[in-house]
Amino acid sequence: MRRDVDELKKLFVRYVKDETIQPLKDLGRFVLWGVAGSVFVAFGAVLLLLGSLRFLQEQFPVLNGTLSWLPYLIVAVLCLGVLALTTWRVVSGAAKRRLKTSK
């Protein structure tokens, strides 16, 4: 009887480890890599926007003086466009396509 209880306990502990702990570890790793990738992509986007601002300021001397605000406006509109594109792709992503095919 005691041996059966010990076996049952070991079986339960192994089941809990296999079915809960490992999937949680995998999920944590997935989230960690996703967050790290998002941070790097956001940093790269900021650098690209800053580079395009500097490009506009250096290459077009007509934008000096009273028109010095124009490169900032152009880059702000570009930033809003990137944000809109990103939002659109997130909202109409793979999950939405999978929902349509499963119906």
Q: Are 78 and 50 in contact (CB under 8 A)?
A: no
Query: Which of these, 43, 42, 88, 52, lies nearest to 72 by C-alpha position?
Result: 52
pTM: 0.68
Residues of the chain with pLDDT under 50: none
Q: What pLDDT is attached to residue 103?
A: 62
pLDDT score at 93 = 75
Residue 53, pLDDT score = 95
The total of other beta-carbon atoms located within 10 Å of residue 49's CB is 15
| pLDDT in the model for residue 76 | 97
In the chain, domain spans: 2-102
Q: Are 53 and 71 in contact (CB under 8 A)?
A: yes
Spatial separation of the C-alpha atoms in residues 67 and 32, rounded to whole Å: 44
Q: What is the pLDDT of residue 16?
A: 85
Tell me if 49 sits within 8 A of 78, measured CB to CB. Answer: yes
